[in-house]
Amino acid sequence: MKTMLRLSPILLIFGLIAALWRGLYSNPKEIPSPLLNKLTPSFELPNLFNPQENLNNQLFKDKVTILNVWASWCAACVEEQMFIRTIAPSTSAQWIGFNYKDDRQNAMAWLNRYGNPYSAIAADTQGVVALDWGIYGTPETFVIDRKDRIRYKHIGPITFADWQKDFVPLLAKLNGEVD
């Protein structure tokens, strides 16, 4: 009996081990966005190709939108761009680019080289709007519904597996939603 009593702390140890085991398979860097299911933060940013023209939340009106955050200095974005380029034409949503803390010339050269799947690109040179959106790195991707609400946020480059698992069902659902 005494021995059994002495063995009891092992249960505690097993509990700790189980928690650590689960911890291994969850990504500590993945923080759910507090903006999920909220209206997009309002913004006013110049169009990358035409700095005189300002882009704002009107962009998202009545359309399902994928907002992709990228920069020409971001290595992972190149990899992602290769993938986006192949799927963008057949996507049932508009692709908007969000150029983050970048130089205009570099950004345009980058698009020339790796392709431009976006219907419009907002340039956030100072990274000020990015703060409102909770963007802290590139690449990041937001999915926005017709009513201007953020429905999903993806951190890191989108891979084919991510696309199949997270994006395709969501886009189908959003396109099916009636006003």
Partner 1 sequence: MLAEWGTLFLALALVLCLSILLLPLKYSHPNVHLFLQRATIAYSLCIFLALGCLMLAFLKYDFTLWSVYSNANADLPWWYRLGATWGHHEGSLLLWCALLSLWCAGVALFPRGLSQKTHRLVLSCLALLESGFLVFLLLTSSPFARFFPTDVVPAQTLTPILQDPGLMFHPPMLYLGYVGFAVGFAYAVSALIEGKLDSSWCRSLRVWVGLSWAFLTLGIVLGSWWAYRELGWGGWWFWDPVENASLMPWLCATALMHSLIVSEKQQAFKAWVVTLALLCFALSLLGTFLVRSGVLVSVHAFASDPSRGVFLLLFLSALWVSSMILFALRAHHLKSKHTFELLSRETFLLLNSVVILSLLATVVLGTVYPIILDSLHSDKISVGMPYYNAVFVPIALPLLLLMAIAPLLRWKMQSLSGLISKIGWPFCCAVIMTLIVAFYDSQSRALWAIASLFVAFFIIFATLLDLYQHLRKHALSLRRFAMILAHLGIAILVLGISINKSHSRERQVKMQVGQSVILANYRFTLERLSPIVTKTYHGTEALFRVDKVMCVESARAEVRHLGPDAAWMRRPSIQGCIHSVSQGSYLGSSAGTPIFQRLGEIRSINENFDITQSQITKTGIQMTVWRDLYIALGQKLDKNTWIVRVYYKPFVRWIWAGGILVFIGILLTFTTRRKSP
Residues near partner 1 (CB under 8 A)? 2-3, 6-7, 9-10, 13-14, 16-26, 28-29, 31-32, 73-75
Strand segments, DSSP code E, in 2-47 are: 44-46
Burial of residue 161 (number of CB atoms within 10 Å: 0-12, 13-18, 19+): exposed
Helix (H) or strand (E) holding 79: helix 75-87
The residue (of 9 and 176) whose beta carbon lies closer to partner 1 is 9
The residue (of 39 and 76) whose beta carbon lies closer to partner 1 is 76
Compute the least distance from the CB of residue 39 to partner 1, in Å: 23
The residue (of 76 and 82) whose beta carbon lies closer to partner 1 is 76
The residue (of 14 and 160) whose beta carbon lies closer to partner 1 is 14
The residue (of 19 and 178) whose beta carbon lies closer to partner 1 is 19
Both structure tokens of 162: 């991510």
Enumerate the β-bridge partners of residue 55: 45
Distance CA 104, CA 119 (A): 17
The residue (of 64 and 71) whose beta carbon lies closer to partner 1 is 71
Residue 136 has what DSSP assignment? -
Compute the least distance from the CB of residue 105 to partner 1, in Å: 17
Distance CA 32, CA 35 (A): 9
Compute the least distance from the CB of residue 161 to partner 1, in Å: 16
Compute the least distance from the CB of residue 26 to partner 1, in Å: 6
Distance CA 27, CA 124 (A): 28
Q: How many CB atoms lie within 10 A of CB 6?
A: 9
Region for residue 127 given its phi and psi (left: phi exceeds 0; alpha: psi -120 to 50; beta: otherwise):
left
Compute the least distance from the CB of residue 16 to partner 1, in Å: 7
Compute the least distance from the CB of residue 7 to partner 1, in Å: 5
